[in-house]
Amino acid sequence: MIGLLHPQIIFSDIGLNANNLLEFSTGEVLFTEGLPSETGGGQSPYPPALYVLAAPLQLLFEPSGEGRLLLLKVLVAALDSAVAWLIWFVLRRHSAAALFAAALYLVPAAPLRSFGVGEFANLAGQSLALPLLAALSLLGGRMREPRVFCLLLLLLMLALLGHAGVTISVILLLGCLGLCWMIVPRTRRLVPALLALGGLAALLVGLFYHSAFAHLLMPPDEVSAALPGLGVGQKLINELSRVFLPPRPTISPLLALLAAAGFVLMARAHPVRGAPGLWLIIVAWLGSALLSIGVLAVRDQTVRWDLFLYPALCIAAGPLLAALWARGLAGKLGAGLALAAILVQGLWFWGWLVFSQYHG
């Protein structure tokens, strides 16, 4: 929050969200934004969930452009901070793992990159999608119960109205989860309920919201074709380099290694033959990230797969750090140094965003 309020930070997109909030307050609920030429141009729906949350809170802030900017900063920072609590909640039965996982999200590079750019709708959309994933990990085995199904339906509809890029990520994750549940014998019984959940949510959201944008399915001829760009292979290299390689990776290579090892640890503790739970959610989460990279390689979209994947990496790495912590002084030292290194990298990255991003 201190960084967001620092006078030297420069945003590119936050003004757009502040203007949309003003229009929402005057009765406009259907927003579109122009797509870049790499995606073919034209207009795309811009879901209003962030503005639904922010509108009543305007009573607490100055009724001006600066007041709306401050409101968005405070609200989105609070929503993203709640992700750390949600990570802890999912792992709460294993206190050390829960604390380590939540601590890894204290200074998360990928979300901070979106804060620095001003992608507040992306951040809010992700924060609104994660309760669905937490509920699936805890209640997925009971989703055929009417009350659980209705809860998951409401959470999924909320996730689909957060941000277009997050919507793509959620759809890919649910598709991967359905495939995982189909492969595992004891979870096949849940696949029809998952299909019904996704179909009903898509029907309701499509009928009551996206039907207003049906005309956008037929873009004008002059912008219907994407402009030529880099090849698929070069796009993959550029995207993976941006996320994992110095000087400013949005996912620390150390965190990725810890998450990979923690994923193996979770797999051994929760074998495939077991009941649906967090491990299969993580598998689907990783699958959605891989598919998102493929989508971006073929056609640029507003998908921030590193942002969407970051909480999953924290959840996977938490149990490994907890296991190291339990292995005497050397283990405690290793776990502490690993956590400190990831947090320091996040702080350094945030400092660069505040003092150098868009400064020429």
Average pLDDT over the chain reads 86
pLDDT tens digits for range 286-296: 999 999 888 77
pLDDT tens digits for range 116-155: 887 888 899 999 999 999 999 989 889 999 999 999 999 9
pLDDT tens digits for range 280-319: 999 999 999 999 888 777 766 678 899 999 999 999 999 9
Whether 73 is in a domain gets the answer no
Whether 106 is in a domain gets the answer yes
Of 104, 93, 86, 103, nearest to 257 (Cα)?
A: 104
Q: At what angle do helices 328-356 and 95-104 cross, to 10 degrees?
A: 20
Cα angle 318-172-98, degrees, rounded to a multiple of 5: 15
* CB atoms near residue 128 (< 10 Å): 24
Residue 192 pLDDT exceeds 90? yes
Whether 134 is in a domain gets the answer yes
Domain count across the chain: 1
Whether 160 is in a domain gets the answer yes
The reported pLDDT for the residue numbered 224 is 46
pLDDT tens digits for range 56-88: 999 999 888 889 999 999 999 999 999 999 999
CA-based radius of gyration for the chain? 21
What pTM does this model have?
0.91
Of 210, 49, 75, nearest to 132 (Cα)?
A: 49
Supply the DSSP string of 145-198, one letter for each residue: SHHHHHHHHHHHHHHHTT-HHHHHHHHHHHHHHHHHHHHSGGGGGGHHHHHHHH
Rounded-to-integer distance, Cα 88 and Cα 96, Å: 10
Whether 314 is in a domain gets the answer yes
Residue ranges making up the domain that contains 310: 83-202+239-350
pLDDT tens digits for range 321-352: 999 999 999 999 999 999 999 999 999 998 88
Whether 267 is in a domain gets the answer yes
Whether 57 is in a domain gets the answer no
Q: Which residues pair with 34 in a beta bridge?
A: 43
pLDDT tens digits for range 203-251: 999 888 878 777 666 655 554 444 456 677 788 888 889 899 988 899 9
Decide the pairing of beta strands 43-45 and 32-34: antiparallel
The reported pLDDT for the residue numbered 276 is 57
Whether 154 is in a domain gets the answer yes
Whether the CB-CB separation of 8 and 180 falls below 8 Å is answered with no
